[in-house]
Amino acid sequence: MFEGLTVAMVTPFKGGALDLEATARLVEFLIEGGTECIVISGSTGEAATCSVEERRTLWRFVRERVAGRIPLIAGTGTNSTADSIAMTRIAEEIGLDGAMLVTPYYNKPTPKGQVEHFRTVARSTALPLVLYNVPGRTGTNTLPETLEQLQDQPNVVAIKEAAGSLD
């Protein structure tokens, strides 16, 4: 599915707006450097501060620029299940290859809440999903036993683990 070097791309801005010219250069730089998949609008890509329209514009622009050369994953996760579904549907409509869902931030859901959030989003889309555990940003850790409960979701294909613990 998603193999090799995946890079979380920053989102270039200039004068308070998306800088699509710099984005085009960055995309080419990443591909020429051997990147095999790009995550657009993850936490590195300022997703939490981009509007829905900025994300839509960025995703469409990068998809057109990449022109199928490598897979593209959109960071669609938020602290709201409904908003995560809406963002994931936009990514799917634009034709991206997958979506990355962060554990809901600020709300600090219980393990059961995490499972229900991820399961509900997974059932709303055909896109392959990468779940993203980053407790330093979300205030809660998605543990292996929680993730194990999602093994029946065929479109949950990977985990981005950023807990900082090799255990």
Q: Which residues have C-beta within 8 Å of that of residue 51, sequence separation ≥ 6?
A: none
**Burial of residue 16, with CB atoms counted within 10 A of its CB: 0-12 exposed, 13-18 middle, 19 or more buried:** exposed
Catalytic residue status for 108: no
Q: What is the pLDDT of residue 165?
A: 77
pTM value surpassing 0.85: yes
Question: What is residue 49's DSSP assignment?
Answer: G
Query: pLDDT at residue 45 above 90?
Result: no
Catalytic residue status for 160: yes
Segment 119-137 shows an average pLDDT of 96
Q: What is the pLDDT of residue 74?
A: 98
CA dihedral 106, 112, 116, 118 (to 10 degrees): 60
List the catalytic residue out of 14, 106, 108, 160. Answer: 160
Q: Give tens-digit pLDDT for 68-125.
A: 999 999 999 999 999 999 999 999 999 999 999 999 999 999 999 999 999 999 999 9
Q: Which residues have C-beta within 8 Å of that of residue 38, sequence separation ≥ 6?
A: 6, 7, 9, 27, 30, 62, 66, 70, 71, 72, 73
Q: What is the pLDDT of residue 43?
A: 85
Consecutive H or E run containing 38: strand 37-40
